[in-house]
Amino acid sequence: MVRKQFFETLPDGRDVHCWRLESADGAGLTVMDLGATILSLEVPDRDGKLADVVLGYDSAATYLSDPHYHGAVIGRFANRIAGARFMLDGRTYVLNANQPPNALHGGRQGFDKRVWSGEACTTSEGDGALFTLDSADGDEGYPGNLRTTVRYVWTEDNRLVIDYAVETDAPTPFNPTQHSYWNLAGAGAPSVLDHVLEVHADHYLPVAPDLIPTGALADVASTPFDFREPKPVGRDIDAPDVQLALGEGYDHCFALNGAGVRKAAALFDPASGRRMTVHTDMPGLQLYSANFLGDKPMGKHGKNYAPRSAVALETQFFPDSPNQPHFPDTILRPGRSFASRTIYAFDCAEI
């Protein structure tokens, strides 16, 4: 079932609408056309009690100044690009350095700040909402006219299926992700450090002090970044490790094992029994332990979001890929459309 409704008029006069995707048991999500942003996602615990497990805000306008990218689709390029520039086919392109000297999450007015065109849709897997955004040549410094569609589908067995499709008329980098912050105990719960995390990756990408990858792939074995066997998020987060110190916790991309749509990660809250399993065909997963969340702006229902009160599991290409040619290729070219799928599946498990 899909329901569309008016949400809010922004200060600049743009109208924002939202779509509710819901299964028969009441589980589901609400997503708005500003940033194609997930506003809430409710799933049951082991006793059948629903809770919203996505952090966010009560007002659409708050998302315009949100420094944390809550729930949004990120584009054109998720994560960081060193020096806010890259070379492509012999030409240097200069981007908006919104995290000086680097570019972060698409620039000052990335896809998260745009109102997408939205409509309800029906697929063989379930009902959904389809969002489309046109990004003009030169947008935030990126070349090419780009059309991006993102489709959210909610299934009766509580899976959120996200499909990206993109076309361009000129070569350009592209790296989408979904930037929701998850706390399976419920949005606003004080910590996610007791959640148990599993990541199917033998290697991660070490970073320099500006959080740009060094270019190396480091073995996770015998490091705090080894989540191949499930362990609490907080077990090693304060270990005396140079990489953890740089990010004040986890803010690193993992090079996922395998190819195609496969299991990438699983997050489990022992208290509620809620479990979220992530499947994707993307090569990387950014683990961010929300190290810099704070009490402003205030979250939904008047709740403050403390540092490490959620975790983001962002499926994506590797950061700074346009400047590191040995990383998986992120360059889209005319006549070669891009498609990608990520699935967040929810169920309950025992301790």
* Average pLDDT rounded to a whole number, residues 85-98: 98
**So what's the pLDDT on residue 351?**
67
For residue range 50-79, list pLDDT tens digits in order: 999 999 999 999 999 999 999 999 999 999
Question: Which domains are present in the chain?
Answer: 2-348 (2.70.98.10)
Give the model's pLDDT for residue 59: 97
Q: Which two tokens stand for residue 107?
A: 């620039």
CB 162, CB 154: distance < 8 Å? no
Q: What angle do CA 110, 113, 114 make, to 5 degrees?
A: 95
Give bridge partners of residue 266 from the DSSP assignment.
Answer: 198, 277
pLDDT at 298: 87
- pLDDT, one tens digit per residue, over 195-238 is 999 999 999 999 999 999 999 999 999 999 999 999 999 999 99
- Is 8 catalytic? The answer is no
8, 140, 198, 314: which is the annotated catalytic residue? 314
Q: Which of the following is catalytic: 68, 70, 179, 252?
A: 179
Give the residue among 7, 315, 330, 67 at the shortest CA–CA distance from 179: 315
Average pLDDT, the chain: 97
279 is catalytic: no
Task: Please tell me the number of Cα atoms within 13 Å of 347 on its side-chain side.
Answer: 9
Report d(CA 134, CA 247) in Å as an integer: 33
> What span, in angstroms and rounded, lies between the C-alpha atoms of 137 and 266?
38
Indicate whether 1 pLDDT > 90.
Answer: no
Q: Give the pairing of strands 251-255 and 203-204.
A: antiparallel
Residues with Cβ < 8 Å from 75, sequence gap 6 or more? 106, 110, 111, 133, 135, 148, 174, 175, 176
Distance CA 147, CA 166 (A): 6
